[in-house]
Amino acid sequence: MSSDKPLILVAERDPFMRVALMRVLGTHFQLTFAENGHDVLYLARDQQPVLIILEVLLPELDGFQVCRRLKQTEKTRHIPVLFFTFLLAEEQALQAGADAFLLKPLRQTAILETIYKLIES
């Protein structure tokens, strides 16, 4: 992977969705994946991605808990968080500190526009 691409941290349990996200985002961004909430918190602090994509349904800590902790931590609060989930949970995501919310299924134009808007602001 080219290190000149911006890094995005993706928290996604579903292997099929990880592959789909890699196909859609991989040409634009360097991606690193986490499968549970604790890994997201560690990787966010360690790798300082330009954006974090969170699923709500994560093992150990759910996406809402992860988002709250990210936004309460000095080293990670500046990183935009995009919730990407099947759950109708936009209000809860925004209350947890999310910067944006998209419902699955994956729509290439919508996710790319949202990501670019978040990292440019």
Chain segment 94-113, per-residue pLDDT in tens: 999 999 999 999 999 999 99
Task: Write down the mean pLDDT value for the chain.
Answer: 95
pLDDT confidence of residue 30: 97
pTM reported for the whole predicted model: 0.95
Q: Give the per-residue pLDDT at 1.
A: 45
Give the rounded percent of residues in the chain with a pLDDT score beyond 90.
Answer: 95
Task: Write down the pLDDT at residue 31.
Answer: 98
- CA dist 112 to 28, 30, 73, Å? 9, 14, 27
Residue 39 predicted with pLDDT over 80: yes
All domains of the chain in start order, with CATH:
7-120 (3.40.50.2300)
Quick one: which of 37, 69, 54 has its CA closest to 100? 54
pLDDT in tens, 59-73: 999 999 999 999 999
Contact 42, 33 (CB under 8 A): no
